[in-house]
Amino acid sequence: MKAHFGVADYKFLGAICFLVLFGLMVLASASNVMAAQRFDDSYFFVKRQLLYGVLPGILALYVFAKLDYHLLRRLAMFIFVLMIGVLILPFLPGIGSTLGTAAHSWIVIGSFSVQPAEFA
């Protein structure tokens, strides 16, 4: 069966683009002095945000726009159980960490740390 894709919601896409650009402008305004002092580049943090935030976001938008939502419906129970398991991981010794806070909400594997609530 051939998938039919509708027309993009340009108002919604425009609002997203506006918010991303506004966020980048705020980041540039708020961080240019510190970035210039530490890295000799006033736009260091803006470039990092573009590379590690905006570009992966555009890739994710493309992938999820092309993804058949029926597949997600079939995988919903598996994803639900997986997320419950991921939310339990911070409480396991050796994996979970407080990272200086009282809450056990971080998973630390090597130099990589993440809060599983971000995915759930």
Tell me: the pLDDT tens digits for 86-101? Answer: 999 888 887 887 777 7
Tell me: the pLDDT tens digits for 102-111? Answer: 777 888 878 8
Q: Residue 14 class from Cβ within 10 Å (0-12 exposed, 13-18 middle, 19+ buried)? A: exposed
Tell me what pLDDT residue 55 has: 96
Tell me: the pLDDT tens digits for 4-62? Answer: 556 778 999 899 999 999 999 999 999 999 999 999 999 999 999 999 999 999 999 88
* 3-state SS, residue 84: helix
CA distance 81 to 75: 10
CA distance 17 to 11: 10
- Which pTM value belongs to this model? 0.65
Tell me what pLDDT residue 42 has: 94
